[in-house]
Chain A
Amino acid sequence: MSSERSIKSRLSALLDGRGFFKTHELVTIGLFAAGSRAATLTLALLGGGMNPLTMIIRSAVHSALLLVLLAKVPKTGVMTMAALVGGLLAFFLMGQGMVTLPAVVIATILVELLVKALGGLERRRSLGLLAVILSELFTRIFNVGFSYLAFREQPAMVIMVVVISAFSYLGILLGLIGGVKMVRELRHAGLIG
């Protein structure tokens, strides 16, 4: 009984952010999630949402920012938090992604567990790269599944989502190349630890 209470109080403390995430870490996660969503929204408005070039650039910006976030706050749980906050924000800003959010969060948690098993971001910062590569891949697989539900009257649109996902994943990989260089440079400038 007492151990059950202890687990409950530990879970409640975790959810309230006591002990695990510091205020400034939560603020950083929130800001990067917002920055990523707002930048991709702006690019979509400027270049058209379905323009392949825009799609690649949007994904590149997103993955580079995620990598910088993981370098600034190298902690287990940061990716999940970023996915959750980013998903809720996408819903509030664009009315998108509410239904896919649980699947995206589950995918991210699975990747976080894998990264933890390999030593964790706290010890091996280079694992951030692997984490982004895998989580973005899983997210796209879930998105294709969801698109079948949303666009079932138009099976061709499901094919289109597959094409879009391929383009955007290409952007993710390109963004990671830029992101790795950027992290190195930001460390040199003393902006991240």
Chain B
Amino acid sequence: MLKVQSLSFTHASSQLPALTEANFELQPGQALMVTGPSGGGKSTLLSLLAGLAPGFLKGTMTGQILLEGRAPQNPADWAASVGLMTQNPESQFLAGSVSDELYLTLRCRGRTGPEASERVKERLATFKLESIADQSVFKLSEGQKQKVVLAALTALKPKVLLLDEPSANLDPQALVSLADILTLLLAEGLSLVIADHRLAWLRKVCGQVLVLNSGRTVYQGSWEPLEDNRFRDSLGLRAVTIPNQVTLPPAPSGAGPGVWADNLTFGYHKQPPVLKDLSVRVDYGQVTAVVGPSGRGKTTLARLLCGLEKPQQGAIYFDKADPHQAYGTVVLQNTDHQLYMPSALAEVALALNPGQRKIKSPESALEILRSYGLESLADRHPQSLSGGEKQRLAVAVGLARPGKLLVLDEPTSGLDGLNLKLMSQQITRAAENQTAVMVITHDPELVSLAADSIFELKAVEEQSIEAYNGPVNMLSSSKSEDRNFTVGP
């Protein structure tokens, strides 16, 4: 049993507490969902439950965390009883291959020999990982990476599992699969604490809810109060239920007033094609959502549109212009590689005039920041911004550059409800300036808020012009009952 009593924490670099007086109890087989706006204290709570303070997390902690009635004494005690899956599962891997990761996890706890080998085999079978046991962990999909982390964590037979933003990088199909795994782990008697912004998928997994805002508990109990829109909006929370039917027209194809891909075929390094005879058009002034399970070639399509890859067959046209003269701008998922300057203002100014050494005319850069509601961040260092702020700055930088097409790759992964709304407003505004906007996303809430049309990327054998002439179903290959997120003309 996990018992948290009056738990508070203040970071060494801050005067204000990151967490204040958290209290809850979890029995074996119970799951708690922790949510709240960004910076509310969710990650701090999980770090404390994982035993990362005071060794890694510097600051002052008061209160108690009890496991089976006693407080863990040292890192080894924590690691034996509690497992944490972080938002980026790849960052948790210390080995190269799937089976090696499991072996290394056991070896770190001093478990070797036949007993360890048996445990590895058993975990690989339980999580259906046998076929990829020798594969590099870096080449797996996000869903597979999470499975490997969970297999490694549960190999140590912990009592409590903590999951930080597990839905951030998953497509709806992988999310359904993760929910199934978590239900299985609950049945095995584990206690789960799951911190997430996306709420809908957790309704069947978690019986209890804890809402944190500025480190304080603002609600604790059942799901019912979260169904109140005003309550959720006041805290910047996401939807509790995803609308079953959202009516959106399918994206057009062929020549027209926009950017269009004409019969594109592409495959990587002598591999079978990822895209085959694919045609789609993004009109100026419109937002087109590109959806479909991972591995269907959504990011490949973005790379082709932005000139990072060359199509093996077919062509891309920009309003009948020479395709080589006008590529699109893409905002990639990891913004760390896209921000270079010492302030947000300098970042936009660099995009406006890449050759300048100093900001000569900050007015136009400030105007762009202002138009996207980012002027208060003008003097902040881009790397000191929150995830949502960084994403929005990267989009503003993308829009500051001359170009007729803006492609956004998963712009809302890991964002809370408030930042989701701000991002969708920014996207809509970009389209109002007669830019063609393509949003690659797994997030149904973003689709319903920002998209004008939708394009489902199907399996390669179905990719042809004819396949896109009818209504499309966003979660067509999902196994969930909640998947009827359909769109149609």
Contact = CB atoms under 8 A, between A and B. Distances in A.
Do A and B form a real pair?
yes
Interface of A: 22-24, 185, 188-191, 193
B381 A185 contact: yes
B69 interface: no
Contacts, number: 20
B55 interface: yes
Pairs A-B, 9 closest by C-beta atoms? A189-B381, A189-B383, A189-B384, A190-B384, A185-B342, A188-B381, A24-B56, A191-B383, A22-B55
A75 to B, nearest CB: 15
Nearest to A191: B383
A92 to B, nearest CB: 15
Given A24-B56, A189-B381, 18 more contacts: A22-B55, A23-B55, A24-B55, A185-B342, A185-B381, A188-B342, A188-B381, A188-B384, A189-B382, A189-B383, A189-B384, A190-B13, A190-B381, A190-B383, A190-B384, A191-B383, A191-B384, A193-B13
B188 to A, nearest CB: 30
Nearest to A190: B384
20 contacts: A22-B55, A23-B55, A24-B55, A24-B56, A185-B342, A185-B381, A188-B342, A188-B381, A188-B384, A189-B381, A189-B382, A189-B383, A189-B384, A190-B13, A190-B381, A190-B383, A190-B384, A191-B383, A191-B384, A193-B13
Contacts of B55: 22-24
Nearest to A181: B342
A188 B381 CA distance: 7
A190 B381 CA distance: 9
Interface string B333-363: 0000000001000000000000000000000
Interface of B: 13, 55-56, 342, 381-384
A23 B381 CA distance: 29
Contacts of A23: 55
A8 B133 CA distance: 43
Nearest to B94: A27
Nearest to B381: A189
Contacts of A193: 13
Contacts of B383: 189-191
Nearest to A193: B13
Nearest to B341: A185
Contacts of B384: 188-191
Most chain A CB inside 10 Å of its own CB: which residue of B13, B55, B383: B383
A38 to B, nearest CB: 15
Contacts of B342: 185, 188
A22 B342 CA distance: 31
Nearest to B56: A24
Contacts of B13: 190, 193
Contacts of A191: 383-384
A189 B377 CA distance: 13
A193 B13 CA distance: 9
Nearest to B52: A24
B12 to A, nearest CB: 9
Nearest to A22: B55
Interface centre among B381, B382, B384 (most CB of A within 10 A): B381
Contacts of A188: 342, 381, 384
Contacts of B382: 189
Contacts of A190: 13, 381, 383-384
Nearest to A184: B342
A102 to B, nearest CB: 29
A23 B342 CA distance: 31
B362 to A, nearest CB: 19
A170 B382 CA distance: 31
Contacts of A24: 55-56
A174 B342 CA distance: 20
A185 B381 CA distance: 8
A183 to B, nearest CB: 13
Which of A22, A188, A193 neighbours the largest number of chain B CB atoms within 10 Å of its CB? Answer: A188
Contacts of A22: 55
Nearest to A185: B342
A100 to B, nearest CB: 29
B162 to A, nearest CB: 19
A189 B382 CA distance: 8
A179 B56 CA distance: 26
A185 B341 CA distance: 10
B327 to A, nearest CB: 24
Nearest to B342: A185
Contacts of B381: 185, 188-190
Nearest to A187: B381
A189 B379 CA distance: 11
Nearest to B382: A189
A67 B384 CA distance: 21
